[in-house]
Structure 1
Amino acid sequence: MIYAGFEVINEDGPGGRLGYLDGVVVPAKSEKKDAYVAFSKQAAKVFIENGATRVVDAWGDDVPDGKQTDYKRATHLQDGEQVAYGWIEWPSKEVRDSAWAKVMEDERLSGGGDRGMDGKRMMFGGFAPLLEV
């Protein structure tokens, strides 16, 4: 098990019933945290416009070393970096699948600029909810 504590740096959207979830873990440059936050806020707008119900991004605050593995090793964290963690909530997998094509074409996210992170070491995936409380 990998666990850690994260400070929420951006949260957007009203939420609602969770039908599908995208998760992401990425190393980000500590000195570029403002750039990462700005990118996070821009990306959240794009996801919400395309059907996401909620987007949350968080910055590593209590990221311990594990015995077998941990977030630091999983992201190949380097000096001067911190682990960022986020998720996108969707009403369904169908809405998510349709939205991703549009999101990838959106100029606000496809342009260059400093995002404060290393996307080559990003981990992401889609998840179906198992439990609703």
Structure 2
Amino acid sequence: MTHYIDGFVLPVPSDQLQTYRDVVEKVAKIWKEHGALDYSEYVCDNSNLEGTRSFFDAASSKEDEVVIFGWVAFESREARDLVNKRVAADPRMVDLINPLTSSSRPIFDAERMVYGGFRSLV
């Protein structure tokens, strides 16, 4: 079965990882409610393979940041477009998109996120 995914990589301040996780748990439920087949995010803990560029480098992460790798799976690109449109219109997303931490800074910088939509190859 072929699916379509949105994939992303982003740095998150290490001291904000739990707050980020709390938000992502809510976001994942919203995406699935609107039709996503799966929503997964992972924290990179090994990105060293000789001769390759690491996710830490690709994300331009700083020493006090962790790198998140994630994807959202959809039935098709058309389904992705519809689900993402519904998610963007969901009023619950307003406060979740980039909540401020106790220090009044965002839990991540969306401009540093690497993102793309992918069709199945294998």
Q: Counterpart of 1:86?
A: 70
In the alignment, which of 110, 114, 117 is matched to residue 123 of structure 1? 114
Amino acid at match of 1:113: P
Specify which structure has the bigger relative contact order, considering alpha-carbon pairs within 8 angstroms and separated by 6 or more residues. 2
Q: Distance in 1 between matches of 2:30 and 2:108?
A: 18
Unaligned runs of 5+ in 2: 101-105
Per-residue deviation at 1:63? 2.3
SS at match of 1:41: helix
Q: Distance in 2 between matches of 1:84 and 1:108?
A: 22
CA RMSD in angstroms comes to 1.8
Per-residue deviation at 1:66? 5.9
Superposition map of 1:48-87 within 5 A: 48-64=32-48, 67=51, 69-87=53-71
Report sequence identity in percent.
Answer: 28
Any conservation in 2 of the 1:22–1:124 contact (CA below 8 Å)?
Answer: yes
Q: Distance in 2 between matches of 1:67 and 1:82?
A: 22
Q: Counterpart of 2:12?
A: 28
Per-residue deviation at 1:106? 1.9
Per-residue deviation at 1:48? 0.3
User: Which deviates the most, 90-99 or 58-67?
Assistant: 58-67
Length-normalised TM-score, structure 2? 0.83
Count of residue pairs the alignment pairs up: 115
Matched, 1:103 2:87: yes
Any conservation in 1 of the 2:41–2:71 contact (CA below 8 Å)?
Answer: yes
Per-residue deviation at 1:93? 1.1
